[in-house]
Each structure stands twice: as C-alpha cells, then as structure tokens.
Amino acid sequence: MKIQGVVLAGGRSTRFGSDKAHAKIGSISLAQKAINLLKDINLNPLLVSNNDQDFSYLSCPVVVDQIPNQGPLGGLQTALTLTDADAVLVLVCDMPGVTNELLNHLLEEHHFSQLLTHFAFGREMEQPFPGIYDKKLLDLVNQQLNQGRRSMKALSEQVQSKKIVQLDQNFDCFVNVNTQEDWNKKNE
C-alpha cells in the first residue's frame, strides 16, 4: 500500500493574527517542521494551502485547495484528488507537538482494509489529525462538501471501515496553536 504524506496549511489564522504556517520555532517554520516529520518517516510530502502563499522555501510540492473555503475537509478533498497513492497520512501544520513516534504508531496500526485510521481519547475525543485517509473516501468527501457539511467528525462517523487508535497519554502532541497565547506557551 502506497501512502503519501500531506500537510494542511490552509487555515485562515484569524485568531493567531498572522499565517501560522510561516510562524517559526527556532529557525524552522511550522510548515517545514511538519514536512520534515513526513520525510523522516519516508513519506513524500505534499503541502495543501488555501491560497497562493509563498512556500518556495519548502522542499516539496505545494498545491492550492481545489474547492476554496472548505476548511480541513476541503484540504483533504484536494489531497485525495491529486494523490496517486492509495491513501494519505494527513498532518496539520499547527500541531507542533506531533512526533515521528506518534506517526509511526499510526502507520503500524493502519491496515490496508481500513479506510480511515486516527487517534482518540475515549469515545468523544476523536482526533482527525494526524490521520490516514484512503483514496476510496474521495466520493464520500465530495458528497459531504456538496451538502455543505465540512465537519471531519461527520466524515469519520460515516466511515464504517476504520480504526480508532485509543491513547491514554501524550495529549500535548494534539494541542493546536490557535492564538498568540497558545504560541507563547509552546515556545516557553
């Protein structure tokens, strides 16, 4: 089974005040950090953005959402449409706590018969990212977008063949950087 790495860098960053994808931890941007994680586990990365930002400093292909303003589900739709792989492992660039170990664990838990594999903390705390999404989900993603439903949770609820990997620790890796306050805490 061929899996391609994908980084979603399409948020509007309204609460953050500037584009989070270009925010730096030390000398590296959040987008580059996510790209490096995928390269470290031997996945060819693709970055999906919501606009024509300059990501020329990244050493990977960059594409713009095919259907604008649809949030992460729109980014997933673009990735599934463009990939020639069987599935995509999707990261978002604003979760700097994600590690290679976590991604390797996700890959180990995934089976080719599953259309979706991602993490959860208990029943109500599913985490859509990082997640592995089979290309066979493209029709369902398109159907959901055509109905004006942009929820990743709603997508997961519709998928029967999935694996939800239960975690009971390491919550920090799932913390999103949404505001300058979040950013300052991550950089302390």
One digit per residue, pLDDT tens: the chain, 188 residues?
Answer: 899 999 999 655 554 445 677 677 788 888 999 999 999 999 999 999 988 788 888 889 999 999 999 999 999 999 999 999 999 999 998 888 899 999 999 999 999 999 999 998 766 688 899 999 999 999 999 999 999 999 999 999 999 999 999 887 656 666 665 555 655 555 65
Structurally, the chain folds into a number of domains equal to: 1
Domain that holds residue 68: 3-186
Phi-psi region of 123 (alpha: psi -120 to 50; beta: other; left: phi over 0): alpha
Indicate whether this model's pTM tops 0.85. yes
Q: Look up tokens 């590296």; give the residue.
A: 28
Q: Dihedral through CA 124, CA 168, CA 110, CA 62, nearest 10?
A: 80
What's the rounded Cα separation, in Å, for the pair 63 and 78?
A: 8
The Cα–Cα gap between 22 and 52 comes to 13
CATH number at residue 106: 3.90.550.10
Encoded tokens for 56: 């020329």
Residue whose tokens read 């919550």:
171
